[in-house]
Structure 1
């Protein structure tokens, strides 16, 4: 089923990431972590849908997204900064493999943080403690919602920066050795989201550390 959502507000999150708020049409139901394919409801764009994750509470009166814009891509994300209240999108029924499986380690790269926003918000509301966020980005400036993670009850954030040698955080890339160093307990749930290469690397590193398939929550499957 296709749902029509109307944009009510848009605001920057980082230099290339935007927070979009839409009305919440009846029948548009989802779980924290799930996504929908949506397209701009205007000529030339209705057949150019892309997947985006809802970041708001499922029961809220609005539907929110945090979306990274890629100006060098001739596609939907390139259009995000130009959207304005009143613009409409056409969204399919939500779906997705990343849903809440309880506390755990959240491994994200770049815009791969978006499925975890609603899940970690849910954990904070429920008083869940012990979540660990390990978040990879190119530069300090790229970290999406850094202030939120730094102040969220129940979650310990670690930022790993690969493209800025003078970073305030860990410089390098997340790998097996880094995971061994950062984590004392591997007997827990691991959520993984990011570009395909990142997902594959995290899955392989965890497998090498004897983390079982059943402990991993991954959007693109196996």
Structure 2
């Protein structure tokens, strides 16, 4: 198990932290993969939780974008209290979502995190010429890394909000009609990540539209 030292920690939405840490020598992972982290403090060393690397494999640091659930008295609640110099423990690497080809990325809330590194990697090493991101949140304040994603994807960054009506973004949820409106090519890869009910619904809708099952990649 590796020890990571927190270099910076900041809130990037009202309930999402961006944590950057030291990087162990020789650590390898694919963009989109995750690891198990533990807080290196008394009574927390056995409380591991899965978090996705949002940094890229060749970065000199590690980065994690983590949704916190304050009031639950759990690991993410405790993360809010951490500061530069505090330590985390990092375990094995895992994850099913990694780049398999250009396509459409569909995320709900913190489900975006495995897709951040993939999109960053394509931007740095291969371009995002045809990649599209459909991102569902409650309000515009909840949109993680909005400016960076807009810069990378332009008008291929499509947002929908369930809890706020605004002229800037669609209102509602990602359903079959919304997918049909924004998907022209059914013969591409579809990366789906978010809460389980959302994944089930989106996968079902994609199949109903005619997307082949082997072109749908989900976490798991």
How many residues align? The count is 219
The TM-score with structure 1 as length reference comes to 0.94
Q: Which residue of 2 aligns with 1:65?
A: 64
Distance 2:209 2:21 in 1: 42
Q: Which residue of 2 aligns with 1:147?
A: 147
Q: Which residue of 2 aligns with 1:46?
A: 45
Q: Which residue of 2 aligns with 1:55?
A: 54
Distance 2:95 2:123 in 1: 22
Local SS of the residue matching 2:93? coil
Q: Extract unaligned runs of 5+ from structure 2.
A: none
RMSD of aligned residue pairs (Cα, Å): 1.4
Contact 1:128 1:154 in 2 (8 A): no
Distance 1:153 1:182, change over 3 A: closer
Q: Does the alignment pair 1:118 with 2:117?
A: yes
Distance 1:150 1:59 in 2: 23
Contact 2:18 2:63 in 1 (8 A): yes
Q: Which residue of 1 aligns with 2:107?
A: 108
Distance 1:182 1:156 in 2: 9
Q: Which residue of 2 aligns with 1:136?
A: 136
Local SS of the residue matching 2:214? helix
Cα deviations by residue, 1:46-85 (Å, 9 ceiling, x for unpaired): 1111110001111211100111111132211112221111
| Runs of at least 4 residues off by over 6 Å | none
Contact 1:105 1:189 in 2 (8 A): yes
Q: Does the alignment pair 1:189 with 2:189?
A: yes
Distance 2:44 2:177 in 1: 44
Contact 2:131 2:153 in 1 (8 A): no
Q: Extract unaligned runs of 5+ from structure 1.
A: none
The CA deviation at 1:210 is 1.8
The CA deviation at 1:39 is 0.9
